[in-house]
Structures are given as C-alpha cells and as structure tokens.
Chains A and B, each alone.
Chain A
C-alpha cells in the first residue's frame, strides 16, 4: 500500500537526518541516564519507608514511568520544530508538491519520533535495571506500548502546531508553557495521592495523570486492573485525537 511505503520513505529520511546529527546520541541516550543517576537516589531515600501512593521498595517502579513521560514531553512534544525548519527551507513544500499522501508526510515523521523514544526507553530501562529496577516482564513490555502511544500523540500534535505557528520564536515558549503544567500535574515526581484535593482534581483533568498511574500499576504487576486499562485507554484515545488533528492540519492546502 502506498501510504505505508510513502510513510516509510519519509521515516527513513528523517531517521537518516537524526542519526547524522551529532547531538542525537548525547541527548537521546545520556539524558535518561542522567535523570536516573541524579534524581533516582533522592527518590529512593524519600520513599524509604513507603508513603501513600509510593509503596516501600517500589521507588524505581514508581520513578521510571514518570521519566518516560518526561522524555516524551521533551522529545516528541518539541518535534514540531523540525517542521518549522522544513517550512522555512522549502523542504516541506517540495514534498507537498509531489502526489504523496499528506498523511504519509506526517506519519513518517511521527514514526521517527516514536522510534527515537522507544530506543530511549530501552536505554532508560536498562540503566534503571542497573540501578535496581525490578519489575515483571509483562509490565516492562507494556511500557513500550504506553511510550509508543505517548510519542505518536505528542509528535502528531507538535507537528500540527508547528504548521499553525510557523515560527520557532512563538513555538518554543508556547510548548514550554504547556509542558511544565502537564509535567507537574501528572504526578511524575511525587505521587498525586499526597496532593490536596484541589490539586488532585486539576490533575485528573490532564491525560498524563491516568497514563502515569496506569504505567506504574503495570510495573507493580497488576495488568488487568482498571487503573492500567484506564491509563491505556486514555493513552490510545489521546494519541488518536492528536493524530487526527495533526493529519487535518497537514492536509490543509494553504499550509
């Protein structure tokens, strides 16, 4: 099917560019490791005795899902910067003037961001294992599904926004304004069960709250409970909505 082969062509090109960029191995592989090394031990101490929402001995299983989401918020969420660069250089118009499907132009890029995040996930889980993360295999495999959904959603959204905003100067601050509250409200660093009620309520209005809870519960070994199912459903629906939104923006004639 040409949609698949067209998307793969775009994916391969974007991947080549990523691999060629000298920043890629550093940002992509060392950043997650740094978080584990410099933040993880603090959390282990905090959780030493176990607090509400953070069972004793589960510090790494609690911490790793939050880090994975954080990687998503700093990677795929900012992926739209590349479409702005391609708009400016004319690369995007050069591709748009071919008969290739508009969706493939988005899908190939989203695939690149997803693969990058999945590779980062492998690294992060490996390093976390060295630090002391122990979790059931199924739970670990579920992390990849969650991460893929997060990457697809954030990357598609970011690319669509990039086409709307069209300038790095507005795009970066806009996303920072969006990413920081999302990050804090998801309860990535500390359990939201510690939050006062008003904060807990606001937190429940953001998708990452459900996603991170689902991921943690999966690592605790409870795959079939409603928390994991809800988290997975929220992740998939959010990804789908973002993908549709991005696709619409990509198919506009005057982009």
Chain B
C-alpha cells in the first residue's frame, strides 16, 4: 500500500484580489521506504504541495492520504505520523538545541525521560553532540540545518518531509547531509520525501523523482529512467554568430532527435553522438558558421528538464 497517495491536488492562493494557481492538479504515489524528490525551479509549487500533505494548508481541490490517513478528514492523525522540516527551518536563535529537541518530542506526546534520551541520540546521529546547550544563533548554517532536521525526526516518524534540505549549505555540508538522509532510510526504513532545485541532489539522493513545473508533475521516474528518455547523447555547440541560423543549418543533419537554442549554444540530442558530430562539423563548415566549441555528454537531469520544458533548470537558478 502506498504511504502517500495524492489525487488531483490543487491549491490557489488569493493575494490582494489576485489569484496564484500554485498547484494545478498533482497526482502521485509514494511507496514506503522510498527516498522521493520533487525536482523543479523556484515557484514550481513544491512547497505548497508539501504543505498540503503535511496538513498546513487545505487543498483547494483534490484528495490526499498520508500514512494511511486522509489529510482532510483527520489532520491530527496525519501529524502524529509524519515529520516535517520546512524550507526556512523552524528555530529561534535564542533557544538551545537540546531544549528545543526535548520540547518538540514532548509536543508529540513523548515522556520527559524518553524525550531527553532521543534528543541525545539524535544529536549524536546528526553530528550535533557538543552543541546541545548552545544557543541556536551561534550555530553554523550546516549545524542549524541539521538542528531543523533533528527537530523533524525526534519522534521517529515513518515518513518525513524535507523541504529543500540542503539549500544554502556548502558542498561538504551538503554531502554530509545526504549521508545522514540515506542512513535514515537504510537503517530505520524511514520514507523520505524531499524537494530540491538542485540537480545533483535529486540525482544522487533520490530513488525516484517527480519533476515539477508550473504547479504540475510533468515527469516521474528513477534518475536513470528519466535520463534514458533523452535517447542518446547531448551535443552542445557554442557559436560566435547567429545561433538561430545555426540551429536551422544544423537541424538538416541526419540522426538528430531534438534541437534547442539557449543563448549562444545549440544543444541537440543524437543517438550516436560521435557519428552525428562528423555531420554537424561538416554542415557548420559548409554554412560558414562561427563555431567556437563543441561538447558531447551523456544526458543529465538538466537535459531532461530542458527537453520537457524548453528551459534549463540551471538558468532559472544560479
């Protein structure tokens, strides 16, 4: 039985008389023990969907069951069974790490002794030992984010939602965090539902990805399956002159699947990249294109996103 089932979820915000359709009909299922991720640019509707699933927001329409409980019929029942770590975190700089962890456990109905034990265990698990009595404002970004995550795990939920868990962290902290998240699933069997706009995070951490854009899930699958949708290799040609004219010229070559221009670069996919390259160079030469550089690569999730939406995830975000 799926641990999450969402059917036709929508959410429309009304701000000063104007409406924003943040989520426009989202359907998916999540199996227990999966690490699943929403991948999409800022504004895609990832946070809004998560807030519906965690009962923080009422869906405008649609239904969802989370951990076997209907979010609309029994929100408190859902809350008992899940953990949630919001995108912006949830700590006050004047509080101390351990006292907030203990409080959070007790808000889940855990007794004082047990709460203290779990707080200490979590500090160890998330490399926070030694920081337990520090005011949260004195922590580094990575330590503070791990505190946020510890707060979401203190009651050992079977399912945890992590909204942009590694946003704003340096590369070392990010990869440490990924290790923690993987261990959570591997050792405790926790289902992890995260959102990210980082391609590498989705690629290395998630068993399965739901690609989200403009309030909809536009593709789903394992990272490999998604990349396989881009049949063949990705060839990028950077030009000095008119990229659109170049696109028209190069599109005539045989063996190409898709061709798109972004900036001064023509990106195309070809079943056999090396073979296509010969044709492409020849055509460029004949048409006198000002070719600056050429690159062949195996497809990435960004190519998937580009093929699905016509724009690069990296362009939306630096």
Interface residues in A10-57 by Cβ distance below 8 A to B read 13, 16-17, 20-21
Residue-wise interface mask of A (89-113) relative to B, using a CB-CB cutoff of 8 A (1 in contact, 0 not): 1110111111110000000000000
Partner of B107, one of A17, A85, A90, A95: A95
Interface residues in B89-135 by Cβ distance below 8 A to A read 89-95, 99, 103-104, 106-109
Contact A2 B104 (CB under 8 A): no
Contacts of A9 in B (CB 8 A): 103, 106-107
Is A200's CB within 8 Å of the partner chain B? Answer: no
* Residue ID in chain A nearest B59 by CB atoms: A253
Contact B91 A97 (CB under 8 A): no
Nearest CB in chain A: distance from B114 CB, A: 14
Contacts of B103 in A (CB 8 A): 9, 13
How many B residues touch the partner, as a band? 20 to 34
Could you say which of B54, B92, B151 has the most chain A C-beta atoms within 10 Å of its C-beta? B92
Contact A91 B91 (CB under 8 A): yes
Interface residues in B272-301 by Cβ distance below 8 A to A read none
Q: A13-B103, A17-B92, A17-B95 are in contact. Are A94 and B151 (CB under 8 A)?
A: yes
Contact A253 B86 (CB under 8 A): no
What separation, in Å, do the CA atoms of A95 and B84 have in the docked complex? Answer: 10
Contact A99 B92 (CB under 8 A): no
Contact B55 A97 (CB under 8 A): yes
Contact A93 B86 (CB under 8 A): yes
Contacts of B56 in A (CB 8 A): 93, 96-97, 253-254
Contacts of B90 in A (CB 8 A): 89-91, 93-95
**Prevailing SS type, chain A contact patch:** helix
Q: A16-B99, A17-B95 are in contact. Are A253 and B107 (CB under 8 A)?
A: no
Contact A254 B58 (CB under 8 A): yes
Nearest CB in chain A: distance from B149 CB, A: 12
* Residue ID in chain A nearest B54 by CB atoms: A97
Contact B94 A17 (CB under 8 A): yes
Residues of A in contact (CB 8 Å), total 23
Contacts of A253 in B (CB 8 A): 55-58, 75
Contacts of A222 in B (CB 8 A): none
Is B188's CB within 8 Å of the partner chain A? Answer: no
Interface residues in B66-98 by Cβ distance below 8 A to A read 75-76, 79-80, 82, 84, 86, 88-95
Could you say which of A20, A91, A97 has the most chain B C-beta atoms within 10 Å of its C-beta? A97
Contacts of A98 in B (CB 8 A): 79, 104, 107-108
Contact A90 B80 (CB under 8 A): no
Contact A99 B108 (CB under 8 A): yes
* Residue ID in chain B nearest A6 by CB atoms: B107
Nearest CB in chain A: distance from B67 CB, A: 12
What separation, in Å, do the CA atoms of A8 and B108 have in the docked complex? Answer: 14
Contact A89 B75 (CB under 8 A): no
* Residue ID in chain B nearest A17 by CB atoms: B94
Contact B57 A254 (CB under 8 A): yes
Nearest CB in chain B: distance from A95 CB, A: 6
Contacts of B88 in A (CB 8 A): 89-90
Contact B84 A97 (CB under 8 A): yes
Is A168's CB within 8 Å of the partner chain B? Answer: no
* Residue ID in chain A nearest B108 by CB atoms: A98
Partner of A21, one of B84, B94, B99: B94
Beyond the given A97-B82, A99-B108, please list 13 additional residue pairs across the A-B interface where CB-CB is below 8 A. Answer: A21-B94, A89-B91, A89-B92, A90-B88, A94-B86, A98-B104, A98-B108, A99-B79, A99-B107, A99-B109, A253-B56, A253-B75, A254-B58
List 6 contacting pairs A-B, 8 Å CB cutoff, sorted by A. A16-B95, A16-B99, A17-B92, A93-B90, A95-B107, A254-B56
Residues of A in contact with B (beta carbons under 8 Å apart): 2, 6, 9, 13, 16-17, 20-21, 85-86, 89-91, 93-100, 253-254
